[in-house]
Chains A and B, each alone.
Chain A
Amino acid sequence: MAEVETFQVGSMNVHFQPSKKYKTTTFVLQIKAPLEKGSVAASRALLMQVLQAGTDAFPSRRAIRKHLDSLYGASFGGDVSKKGEQHFLTFFMEVPHEKFLQQEDEPLVKKALSFLTSALFEPVRENGTFKESIVNEEKQALKSKIKNIADDKVRYANGRLIEEMCKDETYGIHPYGSYDEVDALTAQDLENAYESLLSNDQFDLFITGPGKVGELTPVLNERKASFKSRAVETSTSVNGSTNNGREVIEHQDLQQAKLHLGFRVPYTASDAEYATVLVANGIFGAFPHSKLFVNVREKESLAYYAASRYEPYKGLIFAMAGIGFEQFEKATKIMTEQLDALKAGDFTEDELTTTKLMIKNQILEQVDTARGNIDLLYQNILTGRERSVEERVSEIDAVTREDVIRVSKAIELDTVYLLTGKEERA
């Protein structure tokens, strides 16, 4: 794969990677700030909605869509998320390259990039402030997004687990804020959020596609003076178990119980142990050959899905399964026993080798997609550890059985969360 070219435009870092794999150019603009208590997350989430709802030149969602249509249905969107105790606003854009289009000879990337930067710097304004009608519509849209999380039971259960597990930590904050926080936001809150974003946040723009960097630099240089933020350091506190396996049980009208276990692991992607945690989590539950799938599903037929996931910025591992209501104790026991087996070194050479192969395959597959590749590049920046794809692969190769046992011993059960039915089904 071609080298990444990195340069600065004002205070923004631009990372360009040419690639012939794609028929489109992908832009991802990452905007980072600390995750904070109070209504900061809510105001930034609303700001992200408003920034997608109109620019000077295209003053409504529909006007934006029509412009994107003229760029061959370019995609444009935004997302709000957290990694560790850092809050991210992410703009995303993708536009076809003209060499695959019969009737187009002008570089579409220029127009796309120029639109993307205008969404950030030229939102539609009225009397020196965000347009009231837009703010109200977007507030409504964000509130319904928050409300609808509860309708996806697995997502809801995972969110509730995090809330319970990290209730005294900044990480417990939802990236959208709460329904009430959004509801209470004022025009001034939004102004403050915008001003703070422009002067304090860290901007990283990733671009990958079949084009050349020379097509993009003129558009970016026009905006040079606008990127004037002073990037602040963000940090995440990595804690041990504070709840010692506390059980939280919630009842709803359901057909299947969602069992979610939250664990603490004292290592993040910034640590040398990162690769080992990936392998330990791989043996535990990330794959179909993993202990969770084999024991909960294949041996006991207790579940259709049984898996685990590692949050590499905060140091958390989540294990989950969809089970019959009456299987709570049995499933919890089997799931925690799988981790105990890891700690005791009770896993075969085959499990270790297979897991390493699966992770290496996953890394190589991930860089085949523009978004996947960009995620890895951004992780290098966030962790301050520059890992090339080859280095990632060799780090996995180097993990030993002893490493896995040592790291597994440091994994602690924190909270057991169960979302279950209103009554036992006969």
Chain B
Amino acid sequence: MEKLHYEQLGETLYKETLDNGLKVYILPRQENNKTFSIFTTNYGSIDDQFTPMNEEEVVKVPDGIAHFLEHKLFEDEEGDVFDTFSRRGAQTNAFTSFTRTAYLFSSTSGVKDNVKTLIDFVQKPYFTKESVAKEQGIIEQEIRMYEDDADWRLFFGLIAALYEKSTVRVDIAGTVSSIQDITKDMLYQCYETFYHPSNMVLFIVGPVDADEMLTLVKENQAGKTFKEQGEITRIYGDEPATSYKKEDTLHMNVQTPKVLLGYKEANDDYPLEGLSYELAMQMLLDIMFGPSSEAYEEMYREGIIDSSFSTDFTMERSFGFSAIGGDTKDPDALVKKMRETIRSYKQKALSEEEMAITKKRKIGSFMKQLNSSEFIATQFTRYEMNDDDLFEVVPKLEALTLGDLEKVLQRHFVDDQSSIMKVLPK
């Protein structure tokens, strides 16, 4: 077992890759009551075209299948895994993103049993025709719930405007009609392809003993057999460099209009490696549009933004995009102001002072985030799957130069790669 000590952060992390390829990370935090554990596969909603394990032909599966699979893993012959966790006073949940599916629990007692249950239920698929049909009704209501959520529709509307071919443009849960096409055989096919231990990471954080936990996980895995698995072939589609639609509008039952301006990455030829690029993008968005920026103050004073105004940068396997905006009484005025701000930053030099204060702020925010066990486990896993290290955030941030920021600014914010998405009152 590898021991990684992070002096400045006061954290010690234990790591081991098991014989079957599963990566296990344990972060003891003796001061806490709670243990949080998350078991993640590197498989999400965008992985809808692939070569199934031990087959030759590429298949295309219905939209929303990764999310459907997530729901169905909670059920086995004996019933619902929710019950097993509940009987030990543990909370459990799961989520599906574009590129990952994660299963988790938190508890303050019975931790060893809960870790075993977490691994076992994820590694034991059980799908029947009846249980698939039952889930369709529940997921239909989940989809309807999101259809009434204007911020959700705004965000996904932006992605669908930016991307033409990539499956990132499809809702993670699929549509009410696409989920009707899902069968139990398709679920098994996806499961066999993407839930091999070598495609997964287990993270445990809490008042635990690292040796004891690792032994438990090793013994559990030694009792199971998995077929050898090679690289997974995934097909993402040929996404053009330019945005699909320059602008799109959705009319909904809302009081206040909403708008987002977004830019997509034209290719994956990044000038900095993953974590550094992401940090540089976050810094740029913060400098131009954060609450201490000149633009923010002006827009707030003019009354064209409120506290919902925010920026976001998403970068995952095969895609990356920014999103800037929020609720506004005047979407056009806000878009104009956002574009002008970006244009003026692209024309002038960034200042050392601006960069220094932004770094300071980001380091502080990172410390706040590290209070949360959920944040550490979820984000560490995400970075690990992108070959990065969460605990390198501070040094990577400190190493960024004005030249780096300048390069990222000029590369990312290109008009041809941008779209505007509006949600307007009916």
Chain A positions within 8 Å of B, measured between CB atoms, are 19-24, 60-62, 65-66, 68-75, 94-97, 99-102, 137, 140-141, 144-145, 147-148, 150-153, 252-256, 287-289, 297-298, 301-305, 322-324, 350, 353-354, 357-358, 360-362, 364-365, 367-370
Shortest B73–chain A CB gap in Å is 15
Shortest B157–chain A CB gap in Å is 15
Closest A-chain residue to B362, C-beta based? A73
Shortest A89–chain B CB gap in Å is 16
Q: Decide yes or no: A95 and B297 within 8 Å by CB, A150-B255, A297-B138, A367-B33 being known contacts.
A: no
Of A21, A145, A253, which is within 8 A of B307 by CB?
A145
- The answer on a CB contact under 8 Å between B361 and A72 is yes
For the A-B complex with A151-B327, A253-B253 known, give 5 more contacts whose Cβ atoms are closer than 8 Å.
A62-B292, A73-B368, A94-B368, A253-B426, A365-B91
- The answer on a CB contact under 8 Å between A256 and B147 is yes
Q: Decide yes or no: A69 and B357 within 8 Å by CB, A95-B364, A101-B363, A360-B89 being known contacts.
A: yes
- The answer on a CB contact under 8 Å between A323 and B364 is no
Q: Select the residue from B33, B91, B252, B294 with max chain A CB neighbours within 10 A.
A: B33
Closest A-chain residue to B426, C-beta based? A253
- Give B76-97 interface residues, CB cut-off 8 Å to A: 80, 82-83, 86-92
> Can you list 29 A-B contacts (CB < 8 A)?
A22-B371, A23-B10, A23-B367, A65-B290, A66-B292, A66-B357, A69-B360, A71-B364, A100-B9, A101-B363, A101-B367, A148-B327, A150-B255, A151-B255, A252-B253, A253-B252, A253-B426, A255-B148, A288-B82, A289-B83, A324-B144, A354-B83, A357-B89, A358-B89, A361-B109, A368-B32, A368-B34, A369-B371, A369-B372
- The answer on a CB contact under 8 Å between A322 and B371 is no
Q: Decide yes or no: A96 and B32 within 8 Å by CB, A304-B142, A324-B141, A365-B106 being known contacts.
A: no
Closest B-chain residue to A355, C-beta based? B86
- The answer on a CB contact under 8 Å between B360 and A304 is no
Main secondary structure, interface of B, reads: mixed
Q: Select the residue from A252, A256, A322 with max chain B CB neighbours within 10 A.
A: A256
Q: Chain A interface: which of B186-194, B223-231, B276-284, B298-306?
A: B298-306
- Residue numbers in B under 8 Å from A362 (CB-CB): 91
Q: Decide yes or no: A148 and B256 within 8 Å by CB, A65-B292, A74-B364, A361-B107 being known contacts.
A: yes
Count how many chain B residues have C-beta atoms less than 8 Å from C-beta atoms of the other chain: 71
Is B137 at the interface (CB under 8 A from chain A)? yes
- The answer on a CB contact under 8 Å between B31 and A21 is yes
- The answer on a CB contact under 8 Å between A96 and B368 is yes
A61 and B294 CA atoms in complex are apart in Å by 11
- Give B1-46 interface residues, CB cut-off 8 Å to A: 8-10, 29, 31-34
- The answer on a CB contact under 8 Å between A289 and B371 is no
- Residue numbers in A under 8 Å from B306 (CB-CB): 141, 144-145, 148
- Give B289-323 interface residues, CB cut-off 8 Å to A: 290-294, 296-297, 300-301, 303, 306-308
Closest A-chain residue to B423, C-beta based? A151
Is B182 at the interface (CB under 8 A from chain A)? no
A256 and B145 CA atoms in complex are apart in Å by 6
- Residue numbers in A under 8 Å from B363 (CB-CB): 72-73, 96, 101
- Residue numbers in B under 8 Å from A69 (CB-CB): 292, 357-358, 360-361
Is B134 at the interface (CB under 8 A from chain A)? yes
- The answer on a CB contact under 8 Å between A137 and B371 is no
Chain B 347-370 interface mask (CB, 8 Å, partner A; 1/0): 000000000011011111101101
A360 and B87 CA atoms in complex are apart in Å by 12
Closest A-chain residue to B31, C-beta based? A21
- Residue numbers in A under 8 Å from B362 (CB-CB): 73
- The answer on a CB contact under 8 Å between B83 and A368 is no
- The answer on a CB contact under 8 Å between B33 and A364 is yes
- Residue numbers in A under 8 Å from B149 (CB-CB): 152-153
Shortest B203–chain A CB gap in Å is 17
Q: Select the residue from A140, A151, A255, A324 with max chain B CB neighbours within 10 A.
A: A151
- Residue numbers in B under 8 Å from A252 (CB-CB): 253
Q: Which 8 A-B pairs have the closest CB atoms?
A: A72-B364, A357-B89, A301-B137, A73-B361, A73-B364, A65-B292, A256-B144, A304-B142
- Residue numbers in A under 8 Å from B148 (CB-CB): 153, 254-256
- Residue numbers in B under 8 Å from A304 (CB-CB): 138-139, 141-142, 145
Shortest B27–chain A CB gap in Å is 14
- Residue numbers in B under 8 Å from A298 (CB-CB): 80
Closest B-chain residue to A297, C-beta based? B138
- The answer on a CB contact under 8 Å between A289 and B138 is no
- The answer on a CB contact under 8 Å between B134 and A301 is yes
Is B222 at the interface (CB under 8 A from chain A)? no
Shortest B8–chain A CB gap in Å is 6
Is B150 at the interface (CB under 8 A from chain A)? yes
- Residue numbers in A under 8 Å from B135 (CB-CB): 301
- Residue numbers in B under 8 Å from A358 (CB-CB): 86, 89, 91
Shortest B387–chain A CB gap in Å is 26
- Residue numbers in A under 8 Å from B232 (CB-CB): none
- Residue numbers in A under 8 Å from B89 (CB-CB): 354, 357-358, 360-361
Q: Decide yes or no: A289 and B82 within 8 Å by CB, A147-B255, A364-B34 being known contacts.
A: yes
Is B58 at the interface (CB under 8 A from chain A)? no
Is B108 at the interface (CB under 8 A from chain A)? yes
Is B59 at the interface (CB under 8 A from chain A)? no
Closest B-chain residue to A370, C-beta based? B371
- The answer on a CB contact under 8 Å between B368 and A60 is no
A252 and B291 CA atoms in complex are apart in Å by 35
- The answer on a CB contact under 8 Å between A96 and B86 is no
Is B241 at the interface (CB under 8 A from chain A)? no
- Residue numbers in A under 8 Å from B360 (CB-CB): 69-70, 72-73
A137 and B136 CA atoms in complex are apart in Å by 47
Is B254 at the interface (CB under 8 A from chain A)? yes
- The answer on a CB contact under 8 Å between B34 and A23 is no
Shortest A278–chain B CB gap in Å is 14
A153 and B107 CA atoms in complex are apart in Å by 32
A66 and B353 CA atoms in complex are apart in Å by 12
- The answer on a CB contact under 8 Å between B296 and A62 is yes
Shortest B33–chain A CB gap in Å is 4
- The answer on a CB contact under 8 Å between B80 and A100 is no
- Residue numbers in B under 8 Å from A70 (CB-CB): 357, 360
- The answer on a CB contact under 8 Å between A61 and B368 is no
- The answer on a CB contact under 8 Å between B86 and A288 is yes
Closest B-chain residue to A26, C-beta based? B371
Closest A-chain residue to B88, C-beta based? A357
Closest B-chain residue to A67, C-beta based? B292
- The answer on a CB contact under 8 Å between A137 and B303 is yes
- Residue numbers in B under 8 Å from A354 (CB-CB): 83, 86-87, 89
Shortest A425–chain B CB gap in Å is 10
Q: Select the residue from B86, B109, B134, B255 with max chain A CB neighbours within 10 A.
A: B86
Q: Decide yes or no: A303 and B367 within 8 Å by CB, A20-B31, A60-B297 being known contacts.
A: no
